[in-house]
Chain A
Amino acid sequence: MASGVKPRVKVPKTAAAGDVITIKTLISHKMESGNRKDKDGNKIPRSIINRFTCDFNGTNVIDMTMYPAISTNPYVEFQAKVDASGEFKFTWYDDDGDIYEAAKSISVS
């Protein structure tokens, strides 16, 4: 499912060096669990985002494996430590091979 997938990311614009900042991410995705049945009783095949990663200037912040028990429109909130200005890169990996990306830069004083 590649339609209507829109990543949203919230990162503070500025921070002081050494600060721990909170990052919130949300991506619109129906996260079909593979357990549901349609009205004819056929199983709806699984289609989820199975992995999410965040890197800051090439250093990994979080690498999350998602299973079908993650809700529709997966939301993840986590913390990162910033020592210098740079760019956060966010990547979501879909079951069907699609990769969704987002990036946000932060200036650290």
Chain B
Amino acid sequence: MKLTRRDALAMGLGATVVAMLPMRLSAAADDAIMAYTGGAEAGEGDITLTAPEIAENGNTVPIGVAAPGAVEIMVLALANPSPDVALFKFGPAAGAQAAKTRIRLAGTQDVVAIAKMPDGSFIKTSQSVKVTIGGCGG
């Protein structure tokens, strides 16, 4: 196949678009994570995020987080108009560093939970949730 200049341009443009899309998304996601951790890298650890694999209705998606020993747990939905979902701070009378709530998801995306440990380090986990009907209006 002979490549014309037009073909080459179209291919280049297509490749750029494909490359830009995920980069743009993950950049915003990283920003949201960095905003919470203050630039610190979040590693793996003893943190669990419970969310359904498929949510029919993005308006109420039940989720649960648990991170034994954590001081705080931040929940982020990376593709929402604003990624912040909830911040749980556990006090001295907490029986377990765990909580459940219901959240809105704008579309199919990864939900991320980041726990802040007493020594100031962060651990994170994420789960992808498929959403049939988005729940953020607009």
Interface residues of A (CB under 8 A from B): 20-22, 33, 35-37, 55-57, 59-72, 74-82
- Do A64 and B94 touch (CB < 8 A)? no
Q: List 8 A-B contacts (CB under 8 A).
A: A61-B93, A67-B85, A70-B85, A71-B61, A76-B99, A79-B95, A81-B94, A81-B95
- Do B88 and A64 touch (CB < 8 A)? yes
A69 to B90, CA, bound (A): 20
Give the number of A-B contacts (CB < 8 Å): 112
- Do B80 and A69 touch (CB < 8 A)? yes
Give the chain A neighbours of B127 by CB distance below 8 A: none
| A35-B137, A62-B89, A64-B87 known; A20 vs B96 contact (CB < 8 Å) | yes
Q: Interface size of B by Cβ–Cβ distance < 8 Å?
A: 33
B70-94 interface with A by 8 A CB criterion? 77, 80-82, 84-94
Give the chain A neighbours of B85 by CB distance below 8 A: 67, 69-70
A68 to B64, CA, bound (A): 18
Give the chain A neighbours of B96 by CB distance below 8 A: 20, 79
Tell me if B26 counts as interface (CB < 8 A to partner A): no
Given contacts A64-B86, A69-B85, A71-B101, 13 further A-B contacts (CB under 8 A): A20-B96, A35-B136, A59-B91, A66-B86, A67-B84, A67-B85, A68-B82, A69-B103, A71-B59, A76-B100, A81-B93, A81-B94, A82-B93
- Do A59 and B92 touch (CB < 8 A)? yes
Contact of B104 among A63, A69, A78 (CB under 8 A): A69
